[in-house]
């Protein structure tokens, strides 16, 4: 198979239509079989529920080429399960997990020429999305839905990949207590657009959101969970009912504890603990693991001891081990790698 002629090493994280996408439609109370299509556009009623009441959700996962030239994805059933739960919370029809995984396989296989070659640093980002497509003017769920999976080759989410980033503590909340912070609803991201752009305008890569009830605990950023390494070398990961249950985070916890032998604590982390941490990183599918060098808040700037030039040693080890497993360079003892 002839790969596309792309400058793989210099890709950014951006949309690019590829050859095929999967589409299934929900109508009259059931999903159709779904099929691959080459049409990147969707035509919708002006009254489609998604336009007015934001009835939409999405997922994000990646495909990789191994050194042997096989194409693999990472724990796709976990994304399928999370989307299943997200859909329920949004009164959308859940897409069956086995069909989700099969559709991921079909789309990636159909776009094999777009999967970045092993060793280029680029990956194929897979974006499943579901929208309330039926017309709906009274506030109620749609009666018709569209589920799509499309893919695109991407480079790193944050410029420089492992160059430490600066974060800003947001003055805004991303998720309400008992709200939708723990699901992957499009509306959560709409809420974060203004604070994100404000942070960018001020020179920060992203926001850190604090817990909306007390504003004393660290939650997550607009598109990642967070991890720390404390002075004892323990990996400390903030937990909260209003953050997204990240698959990267759950995988890193197991990598750290079971494969690398670190002590790991998942617990609420107070904002005022950051000044005593050794390392900090943001973690997620798009971001992978990106080191944080500084956190700005209205009370001042906190610099992590690892500085603004390089990733800390524990973060580096974790990143290298997780990506090694994902790309087939390190033995997959957990059975996470899913061959296409």
Rounded to the nearest 10 degrees, what angle do helices 97-110 and 76-89 cross at? 120
Region 41-70 residues binding ligand PLP, contact defined as CB under 6 A: 60
x/- mask, ligand COI, residues 201-240, rule CB under 6 A, reads: ----------------------x-----------------
The partner in contact with residue 123, picked from ligand COI, ligand PLP, none with C-beta cut-offs of 5 to 8 angstroms by kind, is none
SS3 154: strand
Task: List the one residue out of 117, 112, 130 whose CA is nearest residue 50.
Answer: 130
SS3 149: strand
Region 284-303 residues binding ligand PLP, contact defined as CB under 6 A: 284-285
SS3 23: strand
Using CA atoms, how far apart are residues 286 and 205, in angstroms rounded to an integer? 14
The nearer residue to ligand PLP, 136 or 248, going by C-beta atoms, is: 248
Residue nearest to ligand COI (CB): 60
Distances (CA, A) of 147 to 100, 103, 244: 10, 10, 21
x/- mask, ligand COI, residues 126-165, rule CB under 6 A, reads: ----------------------------------------
Residue selected from 244, 288, 289, 292 as contacting ligand PLP according to rule CB under 6 A: 244
Q: What is the dihedral of CA 78, 79, 81, 85, to 10 degrees?
A: 140
Task: List the one residue out of 135, 127, 141 whose CA is nearest residue 62.
Answer: 127
Region 258-287 residues binding ligand COI, contact defined as CB under 6 A: 284-286
The nearer residue to ligand COI, 253 or 302, going by C-beta atoms, is: 253
Binding-site ranges for ligand PLP (CB under 6 A):
60, 220, 223-225, 244, 246-249, 284-285
Binding-site ranges for ligand COI (CB under 6 A):
60, 223, 284-286
């Amino acid at each position: 198979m002839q790969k596309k002629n792309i400058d793989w090493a210099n890709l950014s994280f951006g949309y690019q239509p590829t050859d095929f996408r999967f589409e299934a439609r929900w109508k009259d109370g059931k999903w159709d079989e779904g099929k691959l299509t080459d049409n990147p556009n969707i035509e919708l009623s002006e009254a489609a529920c998604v336009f007015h009441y934001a009835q939409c959700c999405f997922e994000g996962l990646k495909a990789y080429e191994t050194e042997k030239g096989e194409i693999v994805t990472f724990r796709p059933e976990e994304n399928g399960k999370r989307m299943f739960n997200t859909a329920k919370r949004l009164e959308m029809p859940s897409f069956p997990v086995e069909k989700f995984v099969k559709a991921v396989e079909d789309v990636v296989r159909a776009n094999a020429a777009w999967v970045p070659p092993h060793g280029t640093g680029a990956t194929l980002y897979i974006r499943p999305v579901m929208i309330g497509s039926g017309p709906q003017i009274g506030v109620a769920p749609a009666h018709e839905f569209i589920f799509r999976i499309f893919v695109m080759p991407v480079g790193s989410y944050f410029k420089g990949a492992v160059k430490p980033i600066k974060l800003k503590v947001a003055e805004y909340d991303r998720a309400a207590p008992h709200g939708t912070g723990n699901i992957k609803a499009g509306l959560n991201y709409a809420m974060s657009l203004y604070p994100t752009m404000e942070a960018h305008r001020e020179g920060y890569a992203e926001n850190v959101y604090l817990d909306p009830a007390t504003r004393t605990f660290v939650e997550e950023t607009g598109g990642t969970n967070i991890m720390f390494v404390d002075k004892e070398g323990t990996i400390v990961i903030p937990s909260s009912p209003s953050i997204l249950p990240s698959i990267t985070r759950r995988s890193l916890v197991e990598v750290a504890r079971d494969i690398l032998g670190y002590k790991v604590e998942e617990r609420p982390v107070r904002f005022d603990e950051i000044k005593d941490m050794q390392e900090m990183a943001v973690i997620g599918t798009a971001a992978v693991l990106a080191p944080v060098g500084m956190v700005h808040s209205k009370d001042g700037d906190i610099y992590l001891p690892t500085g603004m030039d390089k990733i800390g040693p524990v973060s580096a080890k974790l990143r290298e081990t997780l990506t090694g497993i994902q790309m087939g360079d390190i033995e997959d003892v957990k059975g996470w790698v899913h061959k296409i």
